[in-house]
Structure 1
Amino acid sequence: MIKKEDSLAVSPETEEPGKKGAFSFSGYVDAYYSTNFNKPLSQRNVGTAGTARVFDQRADQFALGLAQTVVKYTNQKSEVVVDLVFGPNADLANYANLGTALAIKQAYFKYDITEKWSATIGQFGTHIGYEVIDAPVNFNYSLSNLFGMGPFYHTGLKSTYAFSEKASLMLGVVNAVDGFGDNNRKKGIIGQFFISPAKDWSIYLNAIRTNDENPSSSGVVPVAYYQMLDLATTYQVSDHLLFGLNAAIGSQQLTDSTGAKPWGGVAGYVNYAITEHIGIGARYEYFDNSSGARALLDFQKNGTSVNSLTITGNVTLAEGHVLVKPEFRLDAYAKRPNGAREFEDTKGAFTHNNQSTLGVAFIYKF
């Protein structure tokens, strides 16, 4: 499993004779077609609150996802990464660049203080979660609600110490979540503990705690913490079979007068490689935002919960450069006490609590 802070595997490095450093260039482009069995009038999969899907939001049409370019320079003691994304989905994961369709996904440099100890400063992808923004890295094309509720990236300083190949600790200080700058003088704390207790078994324990509230007119910052604990783990049972799990709990206090509102979820993954070039995988997820703390809301902007099942195929072509991913997904939302529904029908009325989509994604990575 590759964490959100990691980039795609880069292309072979080219190094000038007599130079210690090396440049690399990589990226991808993805597009998809999806049909929604509810046939919503808006031709969108997002539901009443606009948050039912993260990236694959369009229905019954072809759509572009992201185009990514990553430039990396490395030498024996340091590394610098500039990771840019373009296209319709760039806005959805980079709030600081909203409306530009061009976003800095990552821009940071890392210095190896010793062989085991490194420091990174800049904007980097979040350590939290199982899935990543990069479409070629995830087995499923559509993203989980755990991913969609964030965070996506951080701006700050972090340091990692590797006790061994099987254990490491990362701690960092960051600005407000999913933003370049900070809206107050307080800083957030992030952390990750990695351990591999057995061969082919990886466990990541992740955390964040920050106060992103705006100061009052007198300069006082309300006590309103955003905090989250996250577990992501994979076990490669055999060359063909992989199990994965992501579980998270969090809370958000919006003002001094309101108590902390909780949310949480769990997602299980199973991937099976039928052949070297053909695989199939499934994800089941339950996400509970009944308190209304995050963006998963009903038509009245109240909190809700959802069960999701996703089944994805994976066909690899062109020596690994082309990925074709047919996918079925079912989202079943909790029934509301007032009988209101979450999803559109062909006339634009919200008459469905469930949503099923079937589509195929096409990805080219280089």
Structure 2
Amino acid sequence: MKTKTVTNFLKPVFLLAFVLLSVNATAQEEETESAVEKLLSKVSLSGSIDGYYRYNFGAPNDNSVAPTTSFANQSGFALGMANVILGYEGDKVGFVADLVFGPRGEDAVFLSDGSSQIVNQLYAYWNVSEKVTLTFGNFNTFLGYEVISPTGNFNYSTSYMFSYGPFSHTGLKADFALSEKWSAMLAVMNPTDYTENNPFDTYIIGAQVGYSGDTGSAYLNFRYGNEGEPGEVGPTFQADLTTGWDVSEDFYLGVNATYLSTEPQEDGDASGFYGVALYPQYKTSEKFTLGLRGEYFGVYNNGLVDVIGLDDENDGTVFAATLTGSYDIGDLTLKPEVRLDSTSEDFFTDNDGELTKSLSSFVLGAIYKF
């Protein structure tokens, strides 16, 4: 009788304990799921893949003749890159890991060594306040109109100003929100495009003043410092203006102007380059936009080697006009374009092997972004 009474008593106790344990386990699972969901809500994954076809009119198509700008300069069907960007955006801190694979990516990180060639950007940031953000690591340049990723450019081929300006920097920068429309930035960085380390005992400084309104934005950018080994070159100064405005609902106009000068370490004249480009674009429908890039670019005192033809004083200029169509098919964008490069001195080679001042070419770019 006593045993039966104890058994009858323990049954509801065990049942209650089991229920409590089940409820506690369920609560823990819900808390774990909530924590995972909260973490995933702060993580982003994006990127793109691209490739292209390029053909010269009246010039060899064997990779020996192409505009001397970056990326889209191979003949026939060619690869761009695969780009994967992982980001984490916390309440105060976050990071970006931007990885690139393929020819375009290798050209973008050309001063990297070994496996680090896949790193396009790798930085952490801290939102010190609503008005101040600090960024530490490797980030793409703040100068210029065009960018490395083809998803950020309207034209598939790139400009001379972009190709011979900086691509990326490694260092520390501070962004300041001066007001709702005005911003500023200051940075201390390694010599340009030395993103893994600093092989020289020199640094450069960067600065930016920006304005962003309802219909467009404008940024005035600067960099200054010794970009190479002390004793070989003097300091480099670059000023760059990047701006773009929605003139109407369907018409957009972008402008980029730049000037770069490198002082000699010894006696002599400074060398460098300068340029200006207009980017008018007209949206004809929801899926198709037509745009033109007209660029005038010049080098002086042989500021760049083997870029364009030079005269007896080591000066030269080029005018490049690129007409591009952009057609969206969901997340896939097709970009057919016709490009004409015309130099002040003979530089390109025609089908007869003769030097000529001009080169015309066709490019069809395909970009998928996610």
TM-score (norm 2): 0.85
The one-letter amino acid of 2:262's match is Q
Query: In 2, Cα distance between the equivalents of 1:269 and 1:278?
Result: 16
Describe the shift of the 1:246–1:299 C-alpha distance in structure 2 as closer, same or farther (beyond 3 A): closer
Deviation at 1:95, TM superposition (A): 2.3
Match of 2:15 in 1: none
Match of 1:56 in 2: 72
Match of 1:5 in 2: none
1:306 partnered with 2:311: no
Q: Determine what percentage of the aligned residue pairs are the same residue.
A: 34
Query: In 2, Cα distance between the equivalents of 1:57 and 1:99?
Result: 24
Match of 1:171 in 2: 186
Q: Which deviations, in whole Å up to 9, do the C-alpha atoms of 1:94-117 show, x marking residues without a partner?
A: 122268794311000110000110
Deviation at 1:38, TM superposition (A): 2.4
Match of 2:302 in 1: 292
Kindly indicate whether the alpha-carbon contact (under 8 Å) linking 1:81 and 1:107 is maintained by their aligned counterparts in 2.
yes
**2:178 alignment partner, SS class:** strand
**Which runs of no fewer than 5 residues in structure 2 stay unpaired?**
1-33
Match of 2:293 in 1: 283
Kindly indicate whether the alpha-carbon contact (under 8 Å) linking 1:85 and 1:105 is maintained by their aligned counterparts in 2.
yes
Query: In 1, Cα distance between the equivalents of 2:81 and 2:145?
Result: 19
Describe the shift of the 1:136–1:253 C-alpha distance in structure 2 as closer, same or farther (beyond 3 A): same
1:266 partnered with 2:271: no
Kindly indicate whether the alpha-carbon contact (under 8 Å) linking 1:233 and 1:246 is maintained by their aligned counterparts in 2.
yes
1:359 partnered with 2:359: no
**1:286 alignment partner, SS class:** strand
Deviation at 1:300, TM superposition (A): 9.5
Describe the shift of the 1:310–1:80 C-alpha distance in structure 2 as closer, same or farther (beyond 3 A): same
Match of 1:195 in 2: 211
Structure showing the higher helix proportion among its residues: 2
Describe the shift of the 1:362–1:41 C-alpha distance in structure 2 as closer, same or farther (beyond 3 A): closer
Q: Which one of 151, 163, 188 corresponds to residue 148 of structure 1? A: 163
Q: Which deviations, in whole Å up to 9, do the C-alpha atoms of 1:230-279 show, x marking residues without a partner?
A: 00001111221100100001101243233321320000010111111111
CA RMSD of aligned residues (A): 2.3
The one-letter amino acid of 1:343's match is F
Query: In 2, Cα distance between the equivalents of 1:74 and 1:252?
Result: 39
The one-letter amino acid of 1:177's match is T
Aligned length: 334
1:241 partnered with 2:246: no
Query: In 1, Cα distance between the equivalents of 2:44 and 2:328?
Result: 23
Kindly indicate whether the alpha-carbon contact (under 8 Å) linking 2:201 and 2:229 is maintained by their aligned counterparts in 1.
no
Describe the shift of the 1:281–1:114 C-alpha distance in structure 2 as closer, same or farther (beyond 3 A): same
Query: In 1, Cα distance between the equivalents of 2:290 and 2:323?
Result: 7
Match of 1:135 in 2: 150
Match of 1:342 in 2: 347
Query: In 1, Cα distance between the equivalents of 2:323 and 2:207?
Result: 32
**2:166 alignment partner, SS class:** coil
Match of 2:334 in 1: 324
Match of 1:218 in 2: none
Kindly indicate whether the alpha-carbon contact (under 8 Å) linking 2:272 and 2:299 is maintained by their aligned counterparts in 1.
yes
Deviation at 1:42, TM superposition (A): 3.1
Query: In 2, Cα distance between the equivalents of 1:146 and 1:109?
Result: 28
Q: Which deviations, in whole Å up to 9, do the C-alpha atoms of 1:208-238 show, x marking residues without a partner?
A: 00102314xxxxx466011100000011112
**Which runs of no fewer than 5 residues in structure 1 stay unpaired?**
1-13, 216-220, 336-340
Describe the shift of the 1:45–1:230 C-alpha distance in structure 2 as closer, same or farther (beyond 3 A): same
Kindly indicate whether the alpha-carbon contact (under 8 Å) linking 1:87 and 1:101 is maintained by their aligned counterparts in 2.
no
Kindly indicate whether the alpha-carbon contact (under 8 Å) linking 1:280 and 1:312 is maintained by their aligned counterparts in 2.
yes
1:186 partnered with 2:202: yes
Match of 1:27 in 2: 47
Match of 2:223 in 1: 208
The one-letter amino acid of 1:263's match is F
Match of 1:4 in 2: none
Q: Which has the higher contact order (CA 8 A, sep 6+)?
A: 1
Query: In 1, Cα distance between the equivalents of 2:122 and 2:131?
Result: 22
Deviation at 1:344, TM superposition (A): 2.0
Query: In 1, Cα distance between the equivalents of 2:125 and 2:62?
Result: 45
Q: Which one of 75, 80, 86 corresponds to residue 101 of structure 2? A: 86
Describe the shift of the 1:357–1:20 C-alpha distance in structure 2 as closer, same or farther (beyond 3 A): closer
Deviates more, 1:298-307 or 1:134-143: 298-307
Q: Which one of 105, 110, 113 corresponds to residue 125 of structure 2? A: 110
The one-letter amino acid of 1:200's match is T
